[in-house]
Chains A and B, each alone.
Chain A
Amino acid sequence: MLTIARVSKIAFLIILFLALIYAASGLTPFGSTRPLGEFYLKNAYNHNQKTLWAASPEVVSALLWDYRGFDTVLETAVFYLGAIGVLSLLRLRAPVKEEVGRGMSIIVKATGKIVFIFIITASLTITVLGKESPGGGFQGGSIYSIAYVLFLVAFSRQFLEKKVLLKNLLAIQAIGLLLITITSMTGFLGSWASGETMYIHQNQPKDWAPMGFPAILAGSITLLEIGEMLNVAMGFILIFLALTLSEKTAKMGSGNG
């Protein structure tokens, strides 16, 4: 049936689509990189000129944790606050009493245990090798949390919540954030202790600031990736646990935290 409301909705969609195509017409790819991107490509792993390099062959990791590292540190803090926000909105401070679910069949449980180890290994590999392969803290952390979602589905929510207490998750997340903060503050502490110039969140030595992390393992980048991985993994598990709480028990248990 063609009512006025429906026709106007379809017209809205078509006009929006055409306007978006017009807006994107200047942003199609061309033969060369934009000058800013080319600067990072040329300097991130340049052995001949080590005053501007980040010692990381993976340019995205170098951008994320060296050139624009401060952005990422504060963005990690935003993610931490997001997880705390979910918990405090649902008032999930104390563990709630809930019937124990039976989970799925024993075949799924046994296979799940084996696959769990594989997923954890993969996530740790992706995190630690983030300096030379596509990957890093974000990706490793998300994959890590998926292993726990597997447990949540195969066993039950109650099983997972007994294994990983919410306050422990929050504590480990805080440890990750602390690791990132300490690593980025090392520059400040180093300059204070030795009298040399070193900037906050500095990774490699510069001409005018001769102190820095060792270039092996890409300096501070690997440490920061591990902290980020802890933060993201624990945050995701927390969010999944908080959002899968059944409505019945949530109504019983809310407000006593």
Chain B
Amino acid sequence: MADLLSWLLDYYPYLAIMLVIAISFYGVLLKANLFKKIVALMILTDAINLFFLLMGYKKGVEAIPPIAVGFELSDFAARSVDPLTQYFVLTAIVIGMAEAAALLTLALLIHRYYGTLDVSKIRELRG
């Protein structure tokens, strides 16, 4: 029981992020409303970004942000968190924003032409 508790204390951010990813996957795949699908996709992107940030965290040492001011270089390299994951997230956020804007525009146009966002009711889209 104590083992399980300490394991949970160590890894609860991972469990929370994976739960958010699973729920947003569910939203993207199984929701009928296009707008809800887009919102779920945005939450999925953010959850994966958060997971990337968490992957770069350093355990066991007093972690510092990757800014090399006021530290010895070897001490800095030993204590700083991984800058590479932060770099990936930074580019992914802006691209995710552009993608969300394009998707929302498309949903807006679909609603304007068909009067609904329910994918099962947009009959004209059937092949």
> A residues bordering B, Cβ < 8 Å?
9, 12-13, 16-17, 20-21, 24, 27-34, 36-38, 40-42, 44-46, 57-60, 63-64, 68, 71-72, 75, 78-79, 82-83, 85-86, 89-90, 132-134, 136, 138, 232, 235-236, 239, 242-243, 247, 250-251
**Among A17, A20, A134, A138, contact of B93 (Cβ-Cβ < 8 Å):** A138
| Interface contact A28-B108, CB-CB below 8 Å | no
A24 near B14 with CB under 8 A, answer: yes
Q: How far is the CA of A250 from the CA of B112 in the complex (A)?
A: 9
**Which one of A60, A78, A79, A250 lies within 8 Å of B83 (CB-CB)?**
A60
If A29-B59, A31-B58, A138-B90 touch, does A63 touch B84 (CB 8 Å cutoff)? yes
Q: Give me the interface of B with A, judged by CB distance under 8 Å.
A: 11, 14-15, 17-19, 21-23, 25-26, 30, 51, 54-61, 65-69, 73, 76-78, 80-87, 90-91, 93-95, 97-99, 101-102, 104-106, 108-109, 112
Q: Which secondary structure characterizes the binding site on chain A?
A: helix
**Number of interchain pairs (Cβ within 8 Å):** 147
Known: A72-B91, A86-B102, A250-B112. A60 touches B77 (CB 8 A): no
Closest residue of chain A to B23, judged by CB?
Answer: A13
Closest 8 pairs (CB-CB, A-B): A82-B98, A37-B82, A59-B66, A59-B83, A20-B18, A45-B68, A17-B22, A31-B60
A33: chain B residues within 8 A (beta carbon): 58, 77, 80-82
**How far apart sit A32 and B63, CA to CA, in the bound complex (Å)?**
11
Give min CB distance, A122 to chain B, whole Å.
18
A33 to B85, CA, bound (A): 11
Cβ A20 vs Cβ B21 within 8 A? yes
B26 near A41: Cβ-Cβ < 8 Å: no
When chains A and B are docked, how far (Å) is the Cα of A20 from the Cα of B58? 21
Given contacts A27-B55, A29-B55, A134-B67, contact A75 B83 (CB under 8 A): no
Prevailing SS type, chain B contact patch: helix
Expressed in whole angstroms, the Cα–Cα distance for A210 and B82 within the complex equals 30
Give Cα A58 to B26, complex, Å.
38
Whether the Cβ atoms of A134 and B83 lie closer than 8 Å is no
Chain B proximity of A165: nearest CB distance (Å): 20
Q: Which residues of B contact A136 (CB under 8 A)?
A: 90
Expressed in whole angstroms, the Cα–Cα distance for A37 and B97 within the complex equals 26
Q: Are A30 and B59 in contact (CB under 8 A)?
A: yes
A-B contact pairs, 9 of them (CB 8 A): A24-B14, A29-B56, A29-B57, A37-B82, A37-B85, A60-B87, A64-B91, A79-B94, A82-B101
CA distance A252 to B59 in the complex (A): 59
B15 neighbours in A (Cβ, 8 Å): 21
- Complex: chain B residue closest to A132, CB-CB: B69
Specify which chain B residues have a CB less than 8 angstroms from the CB of A134 in the assembled complex.
65, 67
Nearest Cβ in chain A — how far from B99, in angstroms?
Answer: 7
B68 near A89: Cβ-Cβ < 8 Å: no
Contact yes or no, B83 A89, CB < 8 A: no
